[in-house]
Structures are given as structure tokens and as C-alpha cells.
Structure 1
Amino acid sequence: MMTDSEIVEILSKVTTATITTILMKKGLRNVWLRGAKPLKQGQPRLVGRAFTLRFVPAREDLATPESWSSPRSTRAAIEAMPQGCIAVVDAMGTTDAGIFGDILCARMAKKGVAALITDGVLRDVTGILSINLPIWCNGVAAPPSVAGLTFVNWQEPIACGGVAVFPDDIIVVDDDGAVLIPSAIVGDVLKLAPEQEQLEGWIMSQVEAGASLPGLYPPNEENKARYEATKR
């Protein structure tokens, strides 16, 4: 059983595109979280276990500024986040109410949260951009979360960007977006992903040398043998 630090070390060298290909071969197609786009360019590829948060539609008796002081609040959820986790927030794709602002994001950064991913939007974007918290989201909006959402719980199964996310699933996120690896099969992906990256690197070198694609990508038996010879 690999440690989380070993999982991070291996998968941080593997693109989300490669991971989706491996998962598709294993029968998993719905693993890319729709609407989670990098808030700014140059964010690193990150790997971590999902810490889930869930919003439902706003209900006037519950979605109030007073709810921010409730024991079941986004504030309480943030305090429960462990260092190195990736916060994954189900905002149902709502784009007119910011789930978090700069103060909450600053607290997450201070706690060592690796990244924030949501199919919703954020607010206080100028302040957020000055905070060292990598974020993938669906844009920005000025109104607070309670203008359109009710926060209900954390660390339970959610649907973020149309993907079922369970606590402790592995999330890998880069410029192509966020991809989920179910915790039960992360071991299989760890075995296959580095080899797939190495193979595709070799294929790219052949393309750059002028090789044509048929029989190369995917490789036929002759090219498989040529590739294996480079590893010996």
C-alpha cells in the first residue's frame, strides 16, 4: 500500500489527459469535472484526496447571513480540512452566487489545503488572486453564496461537475481540468500511468522525427518492439 506522499509524487508527473485514457480503458468515462477551469494561468499540477462540500438550492429560511455562524457552515467545514487535501465543492453549477471569498480562501491556504475545485463560482476575485491557493472554478460573481445556495454538509458523496465524488477519492488537476480517480482503483492507475506517459513521450519523439501516425499511435507490434528496445 503506497503512502499518500508516494501517490502525489507519482501522479504529479502524469497529465490528466493520460489519466482519463487509462480510466476509460478500465471502463470509467465520467471522471472529468465539468466547469472547473483554472482561475489563473500557471497553476501547478496537483494531486490530493478529495475533501467534499455540498450546497443545495437556496431556501430563504436557511440561506441567511446568520447561517454563516452555524455549526454546519462553510467555516466549520474549512476548519475540518486536513493539510494536503483538495477541497471539491458541489455548487450545482450555480454561477450567480460566489461560494467563497478571499477570507475563506485565505484560511484554506493557511491550513495547507492543496487546491479548491468547484463547478460554481467565487467572489472577491482580486483578493483571491493574491492568495497562494490554486483554484479551479466556473468563474466569478459578486453575490454571496446565500444569494443562491444553501450549504448543507461536508465529507459526504457529492456531484461536482456531473461527476460522483466520494471523500478520499484521488483528484489530479492541471491545465486540462480536474480528474477523479476512485480510491479503490488508484493502485492500478499508479502502475499504468508512468508507463503510459513514457510510451507517449517516445511516440512524440518519433513524430518530431517525421514518422507517420498509422502503426505508431497506437503502436503496432513493430513499434512496440522498437519502444521496448529503447528501455533496455
Structure 2
Amino acid sequence: MGTDPLPLDPKIVQTLTGVTTATLTTVLLKKGLRNVWMRGAKPLQPGQPRLVARAFTLRFVPAREDLATPASWASPISTRAAIEAMPEGCIAVVDAMGVTDAGIFGDILCARMQKRGVAALVTDGVIRDLAGVLGTGLPVWCQGTAAPASVAGLTFVGWQEPIGCGGVAVFPNDVVVVDADGAVLIPADVLDDVIAAAVEQERLEGWIMTQVDAGLPLPGLYPPNEENKARYEAWARTQR
């Protein structure tokens, strides 16, 4: 259904795993992309790792009584069917319209995702069966928990199509990075440029931090003036 999933070069994953979502939002802002941080997608528990993967999208719409029923769970268009289409290593990004009184997935669905090798679940909604979900080991970014099932407030309508998650437009195979600050989208078309700029930004900010630790004042340092740019470039040449 929808767009076929694409693999992501392991070298890209390795590189972006060393870049914070905060740095990525800054880099994307400089490229004119302001709306890339998914609102409401918070780590379900502390200590979840930074993860990088292509987005596998799922979409809910408001509940309609003739469609949002327990019988729909056995439909060919269901969350169960979508999970079976998820490729290993993807991040499932779910548009739940910010609904917080119906859990989109519970422990059994998350357990199946974990068994299929899904890297993480990201949603602007909530999950249910908290203890069971935590027990699966699947990293989750969401708004919290709710006991009612998804059909109490949502109708599932498809996967691998454009969605909105936390106010961000997410297309299948865009790249998602998640860490303690939340979930950030990198549009697939600008991925290479973002990687190069993000690595340099991390290097620069690391150097700036050493200068702050040494007692230097921020004006002229962050952002660096011409003198400090020259100092940084001299240092960076020794690191490359």
C-alpha cells in the first residue's frame, strides 16, 4: 500500500547517530526548513538511544462509528497489516492527529514491531498497555498513555502515504532522527547537504564549548566572529 520502503545507507545512520536533534533543527533552519520537530513526540522513558532511520508512515483519521470497530482490526487495511509491511530498521511514524484519549498501539502490536526489527515508534498520539510496551523493548516517542483502544477515538486508514505528525509533513522514506529532545524530520531530498552541514556544526559547537570551558565570553564566540572563525579553522585542520 502506498510508497515502497527504501533502505538507508548504514554510513548515513552511523554519521547521524552522532548528531543531536538540536543541531539538526539548527542546520535545517539555516536551509529554510523551520517546521521539522514533531510536537508531542516525547521519549516514553529516559535513556532511549538516539536512532536514525527512514520513516514508515501510518495514518489515522477521526473515528467513524461504522468503521472504527473491533472488527476493523482484522481488515486488510489495519494496523496489523501495516506492521507486517514494515521493513527492518524503519521508524514507524504515526499520524494520530494529536488525540490523547485513545491508544494507537498496545503491548502486542509493539512486541510484533520489535520482532520485525522496527527501530522505533514515533507518534503525536499515545500508546496503551504501558508496562507491556516497556517490556517489549521497543523505543517509543509519544504524548503519553491512555487505556482506551484506538477505535475509541480514531479510524486507521492507511500506510506509506504522506501524513502530518505533530504538525510536521512526513513523507514515506524521509529520514527521522530521535533522541532525548524528540523527533526531527530530514526531507529525503536534502539529506546529503544536511549531513555535511550537521557534522561541521557539531564540530564547531564542540570547539566553542572548549572555549567556554576555558572562560571566554560569548560575544564574538557564539556565533564566532572573523577572529574566532580563523582560530577554529586552524584547530579544525588538525582534526581532519
Counterpart among 79, 102, 105 of residue 100 in structure 1 = 105
What's the CA shift for 1:231?
2.1
Answer yes or no: is the 8 Å Cα contact 2:56–2:91 preserved in 1. yes
Matched, 1:165 2:167: no
CA distances 1:178-221 after superposition (whole Å, capped 9, x unpaired): 00000000010111111110100000010011000000000001
Matched, 1:66 2:91: no
CA distance in 1, matches of 2:231, 2:142: 43
Which residue in the other structure is 1:89 paired with?
A: 94
Which residue in the other structure is 2:151 paired with?
A: 146
What's the CA shift for 1:3?
5.3
Q: SS in structure 2 opposite 1:200?
A: helix
Which residue in the other structure is 2:13 paired with?
A: 8
- Say which is worse superposed, 2-11 or 155-164, in terms of deviation: 2-11
Which residue in the other structure is 1:120 paired with?
A: 125
How many residue pairs match? The answer is: 231
CA distances 1:18-59 after superposition (whole Å, capped 9, x unpaired): 000010000000000000000000000000000000000000
Q: Which amino acid aligns with 1:149?
A: L
Q: Which amino acid aligns with 1:89?
A: V
**Cα pair distance change 1:3/1:80, threshold 3 Å:** closer
Counterpart among 126, 139, 145 of residue 134 in structure 1 = 139
Answer yes or no: is the 8 Å Cα contact 2:8–2:54 preserved in 1. no
Q: SS in structure 2 opposite 1:212?
A: coil
Counterpart among 211, 227, 232 of residue 227 in structure 1 = 232
For structure 1, the 5+ residue unaligned runs are none
What's the CA shift for 1:73?
0.2
CA distance in 1, matches of 2:200, 2:79: 40
Q: SS in structure 1 opposite 2:10?
A: helix
Identity among equivalent positions (%) equals 76
Q: Which amino acid aligns with 1:204?
A: M
CA distances 1:48-104 after superposition (whole Å, capped 9, x unpaired): 000000000000000000000000000000000000000000000000000000000
* Alignment TM-score, normalising by the size of structure 2: 0.95
**Cα pair distance change 1:3/1:145, threshold 3 Å:** closer
Which residue in the other structure is 1:187 paired with?
A: 192
CA distance in 1, matches of 2:195, 2:38: 20
For structure 2, the 5+ residue unaligned runs are 1-6
* Alignment TM-score, normalising by the size of structure 1: 0.98
**CA RMSD, 1 decimal:** 0.9
Which residue in the other structure is 1:18 paired with?
A: 23
CA distance in 2, matches of 1:46, 1:225: 34
CA distance in 2, matches of 1:229, 1:29: 32
CA distance in 2, matches of 1:112, 1:75: 15
Answer yes or no: is the 8 Å Cα contact 2:164–2:170 preserved in 1. yes
Moved over 3 A (4+): none
